[in-house]
Structure 1
Amino acid sequence: MKTSRNRGWRIAQKQRNKSRDNNNGMLTFRGEKNWKMLYTRSDKLLRAAKLGIEYPRITKQQLGMRGLEEYLLADERTFYMQS
């Protein structure tokens, strides 16, 4: 009897032998979802970048001071570039 080993046969074999796969656990783990469970700073920075938020969080006062510093620095640069 001849067995046709086409795409459907391969998919069925994969489904049948899935329990033998050693890497199965790595495929199902998706990482931490809860912000409190992220332990290291590097993990938090990566997660914040994915979410599109700034980490560490910056207060409005700090943002204002940073903007003022950038504004003052920009004025100095144009002054030095003119001469």
Structure 2
Amino acid sequence: MTDIRDRAWRLVNNKRNKHREMGDFQPKFTKEKTWKMLYTRSDKIKRAMQLGMTYPQVSRAVSRRNALDELQKP
């Protein structure tokens, strides 16, 4: 077979022309994915709500102490 359009040609061609099919090929800003890159407290609270966590994280010892205090108040 003398066909030059083999598998390697298709792979290279797909990589080369991939940006043309997607429309806007300008890189877009992506948000930070680590806690240390979220600078403000409000951003951290929003992210914690998205993840279903509480922020700031409270240790088990402190949560136990708070629970005991609530039981002893009434």
TM-score, normalised by the number of residues in structure 2:
0.56
Report the alpha carbon displacement of residue 30 of structure 1 after superposing the two structures with TM: 4.7
Post-superposition shift, 1:64? 0.5
5+ residue gaps in structure 1? 1-17, 77-83
- 1:33: which partner in 2? 33
Structure 1 position 60 matched with structure 2 position 60: yes
Q: Secondary structure at the match of 1:31?
A: coil
Residue identity in the other structure for 2:34:
N
Separation in 2, partners of 1:29, 1:60 = 37
For residues 30 and 45 of structure 1, the distance between their equivalents in structure 2, rounded to whole angstroms, comes to 19
The two structures, once aligned, show a CA RMSD in angstroms of 2.4
In structure 2, C-alpha distance between the alignment counterparts of 1:66 and 1:55, rounded to whole Å? 16
Work out the CA distance in 1 between the residues paired with 2:51 and 2:29. 19
Q: Which structure 2 residue ranges, 5 or more long, are not aligned?
A: 1-22
Higher relative contact order (CA 8 A, sep 6+): 2
Aligned residues: 53
Displacement after TM superposition at 1:49 (Å): 0.8
Following TM superposition, the consecutive aligned residue runs of length 4 or more in structure 1 with deviations greater than 4 angstroms are none
Q: How far did 1:51 drift?
A: 0.5
- Higher helix proportion, which one? 1
